[in-house]
Amino acid sequence: MNLVTIGHWAFIFGLIISVIAGFGGDIPHFVTILAIAGLIVGFLNVTEKESTAFLVGVIALLLIGLSGLATIAYIEWTVPILTNVVAFISAAGLVVAIKQVLFIAKRSE
């Protein structure tokens, strides 16, 4: 199994855990699990070519999740799912953003 496959499965695993926990599933330490899966995705699954589009998506999800727009939803379970997805994606976004900054700094030398 190569690293891209591991990153792909970590992304799917993180989304599944986010949805299960959003529906009230009691998973011990699920925020830690989501953060670790997000870090794996950020390191293994997002290439240099995909990083800009990925970071734009991360920014959009963070703005939606943090602005409170999800609270106006009529379906009660959307808020915890969105919160979990934001926790998962933000860890991956952190890694990709740091990789981009290091790449730009190295390129300018």
Q: Where are the domains of the chain?
A: 3-107
Measure Cα distances from 80 to 28, 51, 57, 84 in Å. 16, 26, 19, 6
Q: Is the separation of the CB atoms in 4 and 44 below 8 Å? A: yes
What does the alpha-carbon distance between residue 34 and residue 41 come to, in Å, rounded to a whole number?
10
Rounded to two decimals, what is the model's pTM? 0.78
Residue-by-residue pLDDT tens, the chain, 109 positions:
677 777 778 888 888 888 888 787 666 777 788 888 888 888 888 878 888 888 998 898 888 777 765 565 666 777 777 778 888 888 999 999 999 999 888 876 6
